[in-house]
Amino acid sequence: MSITVIFFLGLFVALLGVIPPGLLNMTAARISLKEGAGSGIMFSTGVCIVVFAQTYIAAIFARYLSSHPNIIEILQRVAFVIFVLITIYFLVLASKQHEPKVETDIRSKKSRLFHGVLLSVLNVFPIPYQAYMTITLASFGWMDFQRTSIITYVTGAATGTFVMLYFYIFFFEKIKDTKFTSQKSMNYSIGIITGIVSLVTLINILMEL
Of residues 141 and 55, more confidently modeled: 55
Angle of the 126-139 helix axis to the 147-175 helix axis, nearest 10:
120
Among the residue ranges 53-62, 104-113, 126-135, 172-181, the one predicted with the least confidence is 172-181
The answer, as to whether pTM is greater than 0.85, is no
The mean per-residue pLDDT over the stretch 23-52 comes to: 87
Q: What is the pLDDT of residue 104?
A: 44
State percent of the chain over pLDDT 70. Answer: 77
In whole angstroms, what is the distance from residue 56 CA to residue 153 CA?
Answer: 9
The mean per-residue pLDDT over the stretch 157-180 comes to: 78
Q: 7 falls in which pLDDT band (50, 70, 90)? A: very high
Q: In sequence order, which residues have a C-beta less than 8 Å from that of residue 189 and are 6 or more positions away?
A: 19, 20, 21
Backbone angles phi, psi at 21, to 5 degrees: -55, 125
Q: Exposed (0-12), middle (13-18) or buried (19+): which is 140, by Cβ within 10 Å? A: exposed
Q: What is the pLDDT of residue 14?
A: 92
Return the ∠ at Cα 44 (arms to 43 and 46), rounded to 5°. 65
The mean per-residue pLDDT over the stretch 115-138 comes to: 86
Provide the b/e sequence for 200-209 (b: ≥16 CB within 10 Å).
Answer: bbeebeeeee
Q: 29 falls in which pLDDT band (50, 70, 90)? A: confident
Angle of the 3-18 helix axis to the 147-175 helix axis, nearest 10:
40
Do the beta carbons of residue 165 and residue 47 sit within 8 Å?
yes
The mean per-residue pLDDT over the stretch 186-206 comes to: 72
CA distances from 52 to 71, 83, 117, 153, 163 (A): 25, 24, 11, 10, 14
Q: What is the pLDDT of residue 98?
A: 53
pLDDT tens for 78-104 read: 777 877 877 787 677 555 555 545 444
Q: What is the pLDDT of residue 36?
A: 82
